[in-house]
A = this chain, B = another copy of it.
Amino acid sequence: MSTAFDLDAFLPYRLSVTSNLVSRLFARRYAEEFGLTIAEWRVIAVLGADGTATASAVRARTGMDKAKVSRAVAGLEARGLIRHVAHRGDRRLDPLALSAAGRRILDAIVPRARALEAELFATLPPGTREALEDALHAIARRATVMGAGPGDGPD
């Protein structure tokens, strides 16, 4: 006779299932309404918040893989949504910023994203959002300490 184990109450599992569900939902909306992938939307959001950022700044901020950022940037550039900011000095760096078109897209997405998020919490007990956010931050920090770092290795 084995130890009873309830997968449903196992947190890494619940976290993954819920996250995948939500990601799928949002990915579909972003794709339908704006033709953007999640990675691309993240890059736009970071550039919108920070004004200017290099690929590795985006990586540091979002935890996305190097290659993933590179591909998202290529996609956005192909559609003219970002521009390269001239940078005298270190020529390895390639600081990016939103183009006018990029900023227009950002301005269009932000309210939609907020509305979707609000809809997601509409029927839930008040305080859920805040509690969840705190818990997630704490967990993420802890997981990092425990050695989950994306790109553990060098480079």
- A residues whose Cβ falls under 8 Å from a Cβ of B: 2-7, 9-26, 28, 38, 42, 45-46, 48-49, 61-63, 103, 106-107, 110-111, 113, 116-117, 119-125, 128-129, 131-133, 135-140, 142-144, 146-148, 150
A2 CA to B49 CA, complexed, in Å: 9
A19 CA to B13 CA, complexed, in Å: 9
A126 CA to B53 CA, complexed, in Å: 38
Pairwise interchain contact B137-A124, C-beta atoms closer than 8 A: no
Interface of A, helix, strand, loop or mixed by DSSP = helix
Name the B residues within 8 Å of A6 (CB-CB): 49
Partner of A2, one of B7, B21, B103: B103
Pairwise interchain contact B16-A22, C-beta atoms closer than 8 A: yes
Name the B residues within 8 Å of A42 (CB-CB): 7, 13
Pairwise interchain contact A136-B15, C-beta atoms closer than 8 A: yes
Name the B residues within 8 Å of A137 (CB-CB): 14, 18
Partner of A22, one of B7, B15, B61, B110: B15
Pairwise interchain contact A12-B23, C-beta atoms closer than 8 A: yes
Pairwise interchain contact B117-A5, C-beta atoms closer than 8 A: no
A55 CA to B28 CA, complexed, in Å: 27
